[in-house]
Amino acid sequence: YSFPDGFEVYVSSVTGEVVQASTTSSRIWAYLGPIPHWLYFTPLRIHGQQWSSLVIWLSGIGTVASLLGILVGIWMYSPRKTYLNAGQPSSIPYTGQKRWHTVFGLFFGAMACTWAFSGMLSMDPFPMNARSDADAATGLARISNALRQDRGEIAVFAGKHPQEALRSAGNAGLNEGVKELELSTIAGEPLYVAASTDRDSLFIPVNGSPFRAFDAERLVQIMKRAASPTELDIRELTEYDAYYLDRHREKPLPVLLVTEKGSDAARYYVDPKTARIVGSYNSGQWMSRWLYHGLHSWNFPWLYNHRPLWDIVVIALMLGGSSLCVTSIILTWQVLQRKVAGRA
């Protein structure tokens, strides 16, 4: 649906929910950012397999080309300044744009290479550890279902009508009013979950008084029973860690970190305020975490947790990589001009 002011929404014909919304401004920025970045052009994107193969091959070629450029730059670089440039000793045998390209390549070539390589990894070109993923998914589902099930028999809610639950939410002072009312079951207990427009939430038991968050110890006991006979280590996190992080700091804190006793190959992060698993990690995701997100976005804990240092470093690297790309385009254009002129 399009509105006169340029606002557009996509509404699911199955659920009636708005699944995406955009403005004129956001669409312009999309054409300058994610669309060329991911080659999200409609004629190509509608052919999923061909689009995926093209992105993988282009990023693979970019990785190899960057690596070759680094090797050539290092091979030609002379620490003893054996070259001459305008009659002066020089470490680089080139002049003009080629010299600038070499300088930028020596400083930013490794970043360009790892950026292209990590971008390729986002397309999952290599088979991952399917078994560890399956085991982690089983454990995740078992704990998640034990904590909270958002499907059940309507009859168990007969003790408290939804209108009464809404009145209870209002009396409990839920901010901004109720936007959504869920019928849920937590540890076998039927209750309503009222959510407001500012992400505030409230639990309203069918038999009992409303409350804001579950007791952490109660959640611990529920998860340990669900995981039995596997023993769990459960501790509270008040800060983001290497596998649960958010640049905008919108993910909930504190959370409960759940791991198997003696191993952290699978990690689950439970929000005690909503009794939901809000994050997870397993050993099969190592490549995605460190070689993709780490190299592509530089979200290493020693840097990511220190802002604006992270912003300064990333922007500086992007400017250096952009300069490297610009000199590449200029050199390519010069070569093409010479070839066309030669044929003419």
Mean pLDDT of the chain: 87
Question: Phi and psi for 334 in degrees, rounded to 5?
Answer: -65, -40
pLDDT given at position 104? 96
pLDDT given at position 91? 94
For 137-184, write each residue's pLDDT tens digit: 666 777 877 787 666 678 888 889 999 988 888 887 775 678 888 888
Give strand ranges (E) for the chain: 8-11, 18-22, 83-85, 88-90, 178-186, 189-196, 201-205, 232-237, 255-260, 266-271, 276-282
DSSP for 259-297?
EETT--SEEEEEETTTTEEEEEEEGGGHIIIIIIIIHHH
Hey, what are 95's tokens? Answer: 């002049």
Rounded distance between C-alpha atoms, residue 311 and residue 308, angstroms: 5
Q: Is the pLDDT of residue 134 over 70?
A: no
Q: Is the pLDDT of residue 328 over 90?
A: yes
Percent of the residues in the chain that have a pLDDT greater than 70, as a whole number = 94
For 285-325, write each residue's pLDDT tens digit: 888 889 898 999 998 888 888 888 999 999 999 999 999 99
Q: Is the pLDDT of residue 43 over 80?
A: yes
Q: Is the pLDDT of residue 131 over 70?
A: no
Question: Phi and psi for 243 in degrees, rounded to 5?
Answer: -115, -5
pTM of the model: 0.77
pLDDT given at position 246? 87
Residue among 88, 113, 206, 109 at smallest CA distance from 157 = 206
As a whole number of angstroms, the longest Cα–Cα distance in the chain is 93
pLDDT given at position 152? 61
Hey, what are 323's tokens? Answer: 């300069």
